[in-house]
């Protein structure tokens, strides 16, 4: 649920533009940071990761019709720069298929990028610690998704997209609405310039609380599912191809019996 499923026409224009603007800046920054790498290697890597995320987001799991994101896995495998580009590509293709609004691509990419970057960061910090990769990944996944879900709710709260009962400032003083002509065009959308408090802001808050309750309730189930699946994937990868997630089966220095032990290289 952290992936913004906000449809088109809900968010105010400044937020849409801010989302696109921030995404464009970060995208250019990411491209710039990897420009010295061999493009023939970088492009397929980003393409494959975006395809994996796209595949994961297209497969509904029967429980709540939830889909995993694999953003944490992408962060672990690719790092923040390549991962951000892959996240943008995935969100673009999803939006074209009506999975999330087209105008929300920017904000969606920021949320996805947050998950990827946080996943990379936490794995870099804790991936080399003792413990089964399954457990470490599951914990990291839950933390990342909790943070990104909260960020998504922060966006929702910040845009005040919940309807206010501020139909028109005149209506707050009328008892019978039929005494004044009802102008739908002016009164339906939230009045962003209104600073009225009282019952109207209480209604907005109540609407937001309802939405947040639904999101967190469904989200907790989704986080658990994604934690189990991502943990299983990483556990499997750590036993077969640990180099994909920055782990390596090099001999521990100073060990005479040449026993190989997975060692975290710190590289994605």
Partner 1 sequence: MDIRFIDELAANGRTPLHAALPWAKVLASALLLTSTIASSSPAMAGLVAGAVVLLACATKQPLWYTARIAIYPVVFAALFAIGSVWSNPLYAITIVTKAFTAGLIAATLITTTSFVDVFSIISHVLPSLVADALFMGYRAFFILVDELQGLMVAVRLRGGVSGTLPQQLRTYGQMLGVLVIHSADMTERMYRVMQVRGYSQRISATSEHRPPNAMDFALLAYSALTLVGVFLYR
Neighbour count for residue 121 (Cβ, 10 Å): 15
Q: Give the Cα separation of 20 and 30 in Å (integer).
A: 15
> Residues binding partner 1: what is the number (CB under 8 A)?
82
155 forms part of the interface with partner 1 (CB under 8 A):
no
233 forms part of the interface with partner 1 (CB under 8 A):
yes
Q: Which of 232, 248, 264, 265 binds partner 1 (CB under 8 A)?
A: 232
Q: Smallest gap, in angstroms, from Cβ of residue 257 to partner 1?
A: 29
Alpha-carbon Rg for the chain in angstroms: 23
Tell me the CA distances in angstroms from 130 to 3, 42, 139, 266, one per residue in order: 31, 31, 14, 15
Place of tokens 């599912």: 225
Helix (H) or strand (E) holding 183: none
CB under 8 A: which stretch of 43-51, 119-127, 145-153, 253-261 binds partner 1? 43-51
Q: Which of 154, 241, 252, 266 binds partner 1 (CB under 8 A)?
A: 241
Q: Which of 25, 47, 125, 221 binds partner 1 (CB under 8 A)?
A: 47
| Ramachandran category for residue 257: left, alpha or beta (phi over 0 → left; psi -120 to 50 → alpha) | alpha
Q: Which of 2, 19, 23, 42 binds partner 1 (CB under 8 A)?
A: 42
Nearer to partner 1, 70 or 151 (CB): 70
Q: Give the Cα separation of 110 and 91 in Å (integer).
A: 10
Nearer to partner 1, 7 or 154 (CB): 7
- 168-227 binders of partner 1 (CB under 8 A): 184-186, 188-189, 203, 206-211, 214-215, 225
- 55-94 binders of partner 1 (CB under 8 A): 55-56, 58, 61, 63, 73, 77, 85-86, 88-90, 92-94
Q: Give the Cα separation of 127 and 229 in Å (integer).
A: 17
Q: Give the Cα separation of 107 and 94 in Å (integer).
A: 13
């Amino acid at each position: 649920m952290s992936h913004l499923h906000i449809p088109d026409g809900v968010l105010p224009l400044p937020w849409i533009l801010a989302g696109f603007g921030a995404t464009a800046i970060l995208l250019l920054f990411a491209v710039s940071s990897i420009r010295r790498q061999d493009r023939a290697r970088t492009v397929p890597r980003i393409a494959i990761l975006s395809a994996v995320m796209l595949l994961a987001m297209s497969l509904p799991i029967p429980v709540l019709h939830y889909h995993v994101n694999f953003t944490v896995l992408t962060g672990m495998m690719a790092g923040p720069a390549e991962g951000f580009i892959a996240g943008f590509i995935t969100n673009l293709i999803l939006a074209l298929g009506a999975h999330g609004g087209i105008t929300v691509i920017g904000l969606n990419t920021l949320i996805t990028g947050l998950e990827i970057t946080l996943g990379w960061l936490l794995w870099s910090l804790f991936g080399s610690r003792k413990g089964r990769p399954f457990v470490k990944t599951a914990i990291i996944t839950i933390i990342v998704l909790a943070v990104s879900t909260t960020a998504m709710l922060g966006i929702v709260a910040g845009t005040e997209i919940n309807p206010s009962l501020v139909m028109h400032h005149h209506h707050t003083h009328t008892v019978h609405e039929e005494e004044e002509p009802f102008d739908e065009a002016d009164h339906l959308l939230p009045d962003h310039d209104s600073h009225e408090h009282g019952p109207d802001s209480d209604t907005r808050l109540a609407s937001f609380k309802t939405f947040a309750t639904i999101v967190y309730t469904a989200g907790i189930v989704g986080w658990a599912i994604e934690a189990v699946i991502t943990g299983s994937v990483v556990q499997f990868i750590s036993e077969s191809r640990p180099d994909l997630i920055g782990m390596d089966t090099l001999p521990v220095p100073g060990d005479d019996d040449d026993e190989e032990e997975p060692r975290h290289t710190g590289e994605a």
